[in-house]
C-alpha cells in the first residue's frame, strides 16, 4: 500500500492509504502513520485526526518488511538517572516519543501579568493516547516563580516515576537553576523542593524548547497559564487522545 503525505496535529506526516487515497484501517479502526519516509516506525491514530494537505507530495514505497528495528535513544533506559539539557528532538513533531510510549512528556510554562503580578502555570502531560492539562492559578508572584511552579506541578502529577520522563520548557532560567548550570539568586526554597522531586525519578531529562515558535504543546502550556490568570482559578482536564 502507498504512504501519502497528510497532516496530523499540525505536523506533516505519511499515512498508509489504499489505491483510492483513503487511510488503511486496522481491526480497531485506526490508521497508521510515519513521521519520516525513511523511518520504518509506525504509529496508530484515529483517522478523523488525519487531514489532507494542500501541497500533497507523491506517495512513496514502504521499506522492505525485514528492515532492521530502530534503536531506542540512549536516554530511554529506565535505569539511567539523567538530567540533561538539549534542543527539542524533532522539533516539528515533538510528541513522537510520547506517542510511541518511549517516554512521558511534561510540557510546562508560566506567565505573569506584570512581574510580579497575577500569575499562572500551565502543564500538559502526554503519554501514548492520554493527555492531562492543568491551568494553575498562583496569585501574585513573579514570572520565574510561575515557570518553576509549573515544573514542580508537572513532576507531582507523574505517578510512574520508573518511566523515562522529559520536562520541556521554554525558560532558560528554569533549565539553568535546575540543572545547576546557573546560580540561583532567588527562589532557593522552591528550587530545592523541585530538585528533591527530581531525585525521585529514575530517568529525568530537562529539554529547552524555543518560545513562541509554534511548538504545539509549548503553546498549549502557555495558553493554560494565561487561562489560569484570566479565570483566577485552577482547572484540570484529562482526555484520551493527544490531538489538540
Q: So where are the chain's domains?
A: 3-51, 79-240
Going by DSSP bridges, is the β-strand pair 130-141/164-169 parallel, antiparallel, or unpaired? unpaired
pLDDT of residue 90: 42
pLDDT of residue 92: 40
pLDDT of residue 94: 47
pLDDT tens across 140-155, in order?
999 999 999 999 999 9
CA angle 223, 181, 111 (to 5 degrees): 15
Q: Looking at 91-105, 107-121, 208-222, which range is the least confident one?
A: 91-105
Residue 77: which of 203, 207, 206 has the closest Cα? 203
pLDDT of residue 87: 40
DSSP state of 63: P
* Strands in the chain per DSSP E: 3-8, 11-16, 31-34, 43-45, 50-51, 104-112, 117-127, 130-141, 164-169, 203-208, 235-240
The CATH number of the structural domain formed by 79-240 is 3.30.420.10
pLDDT band at 162 (very low <50, low <70, confident <90, very high): confident
pLDDT band at 96 (very low <50, low <70, confident <90, very high): low
More confident: 13 or 191 = 191
**Cβ neighbours of residue 171 under 8 Å, at least 6 residues apart?**
109, 110, 144, 147, 208
Beta partners for 123?
Answer: 108, 134
> Helix H segments across the chain?
96-100, 143-157, 172-179, 188-198, 216-231
Q: pTM for the full model? A: 0.63
40-to-24, 29, 52 alpha-carbon distances in Å: 17, 21, 22
Amino acid at each position: 500500500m502507498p504512504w501519502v503525505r497528510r497532516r496530523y496535529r499540525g505536523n506533516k506526516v505519511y499515512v498508509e492509504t489504499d489505491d483510492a487515497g483513503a487511510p488503511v484501517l486496522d481491526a480497531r479502526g485506526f490508521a497508521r502513520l510515519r513521521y519520516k519516509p525513511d523511518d520504518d516506525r509506525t504509529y496508530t491514530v484515529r483517522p478523523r485526526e488525519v487531514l489532507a494537505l494542500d501541497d500533497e507530495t507523491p506517495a512513496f514505497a514502504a521499506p522492505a518488511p525485514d528492515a532492521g528495528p530502530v534503536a531506542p535513544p540512549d536516554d530511554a533506559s529506565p535505569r539511567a538517572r539523567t538530567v540533561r539539557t538539549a534542543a527539542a528532538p524533532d522539533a516539528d513533531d515533538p510528541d513522537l516519543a510520547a506517542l510511541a510510549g518511549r517516554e512521558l512528556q511534561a510540557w510546562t510554562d508560566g506567565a505573569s501579568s506584570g512581574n510580579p503580578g497575577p500569575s499562572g502555570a500551565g502543564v500538559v502531560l502526554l503519554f501514548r493516547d492520554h493527555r492531562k492539562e492543568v491551568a494553575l492559578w498562583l496569585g501574585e508572584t513573579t514570572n520565574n516563580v510561575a515557570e518553576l511552579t509549573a515544573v514542580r506541578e508537572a513532576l507531582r502529577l507523574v505517578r510512574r516515576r520508573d518511566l523515562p520522563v522529559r520536562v520541556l520548557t521554554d525558560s532558560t532560567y528554569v533549565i539553568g537553576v535546575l540543572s545547576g548550570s546557573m546560580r540561583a539568586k532567588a527562589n532557593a526554597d522552591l528550587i530545592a523542593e523541585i530538585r528533591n522531586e527530581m531525585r525521585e525519578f529514575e530517568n529525568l531529562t530537562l529539554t529547552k524548547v524555543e518560545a513562541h515558535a509554534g511548538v504545539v504543546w509549548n503553546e498549549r502550556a502557555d495558553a493554560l497559564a494565561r487561562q489560569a490568570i484570566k479565570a483566577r482559578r485552577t482547572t484540570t482536564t484529562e482526555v484520551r487522545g493527544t490531538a489538540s
